[in-house]
Amino acid sequence: LDNVDTKSKSKLGEIVVSHDKSLILKKSKMSVNLNTNIESDPSKTVRSDPPFICASDEIDSFLKKLFEFFNEQFNKQNHPKYVAQLIKKYIGDLNKNPAKVLIMMLKHKHDYLASLIGLFYQFGIGTLVDSQIALEMYSQVIGNLKIKETPPESCEISSRLISEFSTGFMYLFGTGVEQDQAKAFQIFSKLSNEGFALAKAYLGECFERGY
């Protein structure tokens, strides 16, 4: 994982890891291409220790486990900020740099990671807090037709549910968008009908507060 460069370019602009290991994002566009290869130089994709182990496979495995942990916590915690705190701890326990992890995800080919990228920007994990980019990442997942056609238990469907909930959460509290409690209620109601537990809890709160 240490092979990942500290500079990466995407449609968002140039990402630079500063000396204090925080991520500074210079935005130029509000979309991210997740179809870029991890390594542009094929000679860097194979490590000699251990022999014949592909670095990109190692990154795939790490990111898949990270997403599974992310999804698991979204089904356990009652607030996204607690999920963010646990993600930070998970990465720290593995002695990984969260800024580099974010770069890995931005360069990765799997669209489902966009919901996790959104969380990184929403709560400032390895980067500056940027609610607009978080919303853009969530919208990217919600609007992805390929994700809608995947099996119910897939990472893609989990990513879509999390992205929709996170969008509703941001509308509920006016985070990065104009507060719209009615829209949040509609989103939570839809997700509740799909069996998303956290949405059911927030739907109940909306009823209690008369949204």
How does pLDDT run across 6-28, given as a tens digit for each residue? 444 344 434 444 334 344 343 33
The arithmetic mean of pLDDT across residues 65-85, rounded, is: 95
pLDDT > 90 fraction of the chain, expressed in percent and rounded: 56
Whether this prediction's pTM lies above 0.85 is answered by no
Higher pLDDT among residues 211 and 42, named by residue: 211
**Alpha carbon of 6 to those of 81, 95, 117: distances in Å?**
26, 16, 17
The arithmetic mean of pLDDT across residues 43-48, rounded, is: 38
Return the pLDDT at 206. Answer: 81
Phi, psi of 16 (to 5 degrees): -130, 130
Give the mean pLDDT of the chain.
79
Return the pLDDT at 61. Answer: 93
Residue 44 clears pLDDT 50, i.e. is over it: no
According to DSSP, the residues that pair with 13 across neighbouring strands are 10, 27
Return the pLDDT at 208. Answer: 78
Return the pLDDT at 150. Answer: 77
Residue 29 clears pLDDT 50, i.e. is over it: no
**Amino acid in position 22:** S
According to DSSP, the residues that pair with 27 across neighbouring strands are 13
pLDDT > 70 fraction of the chain, expressed in percent and rounded: 72
Residue 4 clears pLDDT 80, i.e. is over it: no
The arithmetic mean of pLDDT across residues 109-119, rounded, is: 93
CA–CA gap between residue 132 and residue 188 (Å, rounded): 21
**Amino acid in position 99:** A
The arithmetic mean of pLDDT across residues 98-125, rounded, is: 95
